């Protein structure tokens, strides 16, 4: 016979509380728990978009993805550091130069590219310099640094940039004659692609030929760039990749075209090197960047060349230099042209500088300026002006330099640049960041912040870069003007990029005027580079 206590333990709970009562208690508990979680998560991050359990700020970020850079401007104008939570990580965005210096220089080793970024970009950039960390990055940077410092490469680049700027001028001249609308962004992309292939890899691919042939490599490269950028906010990309569906299926197709072109360039280069050696004509081996890496791969040893001994490593080198030498320069040239069209006073001042430069240089060289009347004489006049644009002479175009720099301040080629976090850290403004997350400095936002540039931060004003006495150019801290990054990873190709842009722009704005096609939309598209979503459709006319 059971005791009363045993009987009580044996009785079901429902004997003490009705079933309906238990359900009500559970429901109340879940409501309270949900309120606590929602309240906790929605208030945990006052600096940035509202964050919710599990999904973080995904919904708001997806809603604003097409205008993400301006979305960040809105938040960073209120707080210099904001955090955006995502399902599997969190991004801390910074726009204060003090924080940027901490990440890019002071505590550099704690903020590498990181595994998360590498996993997103690996299919496109592989182990190339923009995607590498540690010793692999140091080896490539050492080699690239040596090449960019080479006078031979500088002189060769000057000749190539002049050559392709003249080819672009010829195409614009024909467009003027035919009254044809042109897409300047497309033309700039063709010019810079041809240039980087000639300077970087010693090959002529001819996309800037007068008939503007279709280029499957360029189209596939752009598609891949867009899709890998989408990975940063698409939590399902790995599943799509596994199933070979959607954007990841298109990425796979695009990368096959990209790789086919890249490996063909490498094979051709290696064959030319072998042929030159076999004929005993070592002097015929071109000293472009790819050839240098091929030689290092063959050498091995302490110089680090063993890292570049296989075609996959060389493929990564090629594609990283393509994105550096083609996309960034072409987008800056496009935004510059748009800024000049929408700021006629700036364009007029620039043209006056170019005309004065031409007259002064012609006098120095003892050259009589040709008459620009007639098609043949116009081409001759353009070629004559281009011949005056030596490496040193281009440096005298101070206002042009200021205009390019002001364009980069507002429209940086790389609008945001994320870094991984190795260990927990505290930024100079007191923000705590956790290992495994990401910190992103945002050049696009930084250029628009009044706390960085004053009340006219959003205005296009090249004069901000010039001193009052004589108009000499004034540099800004690279941690404030971050278009070329800063610290140990500062862009090695900065001088080369300025050279090409100033060479092309000097010719174009000395001899042509541009008018935007009516109702043509000008806005950026979301990819790693700040390119224009619909190109830059313009009508061109000669100005001399």
Q: Report the binding-site residues for heme.
A: 491
User: How far are the Cα atoms of 210, 377, 384, 392 from residue 369, in angstroms, in the given order?
Assistant: 27, 11, 8, 21
Instruction: Tell me the C-alpha distance between 196 and 27, whole Å.
Output: 65
Is 223 in contact with 251 (CB distance < 8 Å)?
A: yes
DSSP code per residue over 70-128: HHHHHHHTT-SEEEEE-SS-EEEEE--HHHHHIIIIITGGGS-SHHHHHHHHHHHHTTS
CA–chain centroid gap for 178, Å, is: 34
Q: Which residue has the tokens 């205008």?
A: 67
Is 507 in contact with 165 (CB distance < 8 Å)?
A: yes
Sorted by sequence, the CB contacts under 8 Å of residue 393 that are 6+ apart come out as 357, 361
Q: What angle do CA 338, 496, 184 make, to 5 degrees?
A: 25
Is 377 in contact with 371 (CB distance < 8 Å)?
A: yes
Q: b/e per residue, 271-309, with b = 16+ CB within 10 A?
A: ebbeeeeeeeeeeebbebbbbbbbbbbeeeeeebbbbbb
For residue 176 the two structure tokens come to 């003027």
Sorted by sequence, the CB contacts under 8 Å of residue 199 that are 6+ apart come out as 153, 156, 157, 160, 288, 289, 325
- Strands 425-426 and 432-433 come out as antiparallel
79: left (phi over 0), alpha (psi -120 to 50) or beta: beta
Q: At what angle do helices 134-148 and 289-299 cross, to 10 degrees?
A: 130
Long-range contacts of the stretch 224-227 (C-beta < 8 A, 24+): 224/123, 224/124, 224/251, 224/254, 224/255, 224/258, 225/124, 225/323, 225/327, 225/527, 225/528, 225/529, 226/525, 226/526, 226/527, 227/251, 227/254
């Amino acid at each position: 016979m059971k005791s009363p206590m045993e009987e009580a333990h044996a009785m079901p709970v429902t004997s003490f509380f009705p079933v309906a009562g238990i359900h009500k208690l559970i429901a109340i508990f879940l409501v309270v728990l949900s309120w606590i979680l929602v309240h906790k998560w929605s208030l945990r991050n006052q600096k940035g978009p509202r964050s919710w359990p599990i999904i973080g700020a995904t919904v708001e970020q997806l809603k604003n993805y097409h205008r993400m850079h301006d979305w960040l401007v809105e938040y960073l104008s209120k707080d210099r550091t904001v955090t955006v939570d995502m399902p599997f990580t969190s991004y801390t965005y910074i726009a204060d130069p003090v924080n940027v210096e901490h990440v890019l220089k002071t505590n550099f080793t704690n903020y590498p590219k990181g595994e998360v970024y590498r996993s997103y970009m690996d299919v496109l950039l592989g182990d190339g310099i923009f995607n590498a960390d540690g010793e692999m990055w140091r080896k490539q940077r050492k080699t690239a640094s040596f090449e960019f410092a080479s006078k031979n490469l500088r002189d060769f680049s000057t000749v190539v940039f002049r050559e392709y700027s003249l080819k672009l001028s010829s195409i614009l001249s024909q467009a003027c004659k035919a009254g044809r609308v042109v897409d300047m962004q497309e033309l700039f992309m063709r010019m810079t692609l041809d240039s980087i292939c000639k300077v970087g890899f010693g090959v002529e691919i001819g996309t800037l030929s007068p008939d503007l042939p279709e280029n499957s490599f360029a189209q596939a490269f752009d598609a891949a760039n867009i899709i890998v950028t989408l990975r940063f906010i698409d939590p399902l990309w790995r599943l799509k990749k596994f199933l070979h569906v959607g954007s990841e299926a298109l990425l796979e197709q695009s990368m096959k075209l990209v790789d086919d072109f890249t490996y063909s360039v490498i094979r051709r280069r290696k064959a030319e090197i072998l042929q030159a050696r076999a004929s005993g004509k070592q002097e015929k081996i071109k000293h472009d960047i790819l050839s240098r890496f091929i030689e290092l791969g063959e050498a091995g040893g302490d110089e680090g060349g063993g890292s570049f001994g296989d075609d996959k490593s060389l493929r990564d080198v090629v594609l990283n230099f393509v994105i550096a030498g083609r996309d960034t320069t072409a987008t800056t040239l496009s935004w510059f042209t748009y800024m000049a069209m929408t700021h006629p006073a700036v364009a007029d001042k620039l043209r006056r500088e170019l005309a004065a430069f031409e007259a002064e240089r012609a006098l120095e060289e003892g050259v009589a300026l040709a008459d620009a009347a007639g098609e043949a004489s116009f081409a001759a006049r353009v070629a004559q002006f281009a011949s005056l644009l030596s490496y040193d002479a281009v440096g005298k175009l101070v206002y042009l330099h200021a205009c390019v720099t002001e364009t980069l301040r507002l429209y940086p080629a790389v609008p945001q640049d994320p870094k991984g976090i190795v260990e927990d850290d505290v930024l100079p403004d007191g923000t705590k960041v956790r290992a495994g997350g990401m910190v992103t400095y945002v050049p696009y936002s930084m250029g628009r912040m009044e706390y960085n540039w004053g009340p006219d931060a959003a205005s296009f004003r090249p004069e901000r870069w010039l001193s009052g006495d004589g108009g000499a150019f004034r540099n800004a801290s690279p941690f404030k003007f971050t278009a070329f990054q800063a610290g140990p990873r500062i862009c090695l190709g900065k001088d080369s990029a300025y050279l090409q842009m100033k060479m092309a722009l000097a010719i174009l704005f000395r001899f042509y005027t541009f008018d935007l096609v009516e109702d043509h939309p000008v806005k950026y598209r979301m990819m790693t580079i700040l390119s224009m979503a619909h190109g830059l459709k313009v009508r061109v006319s000669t100005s001399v």
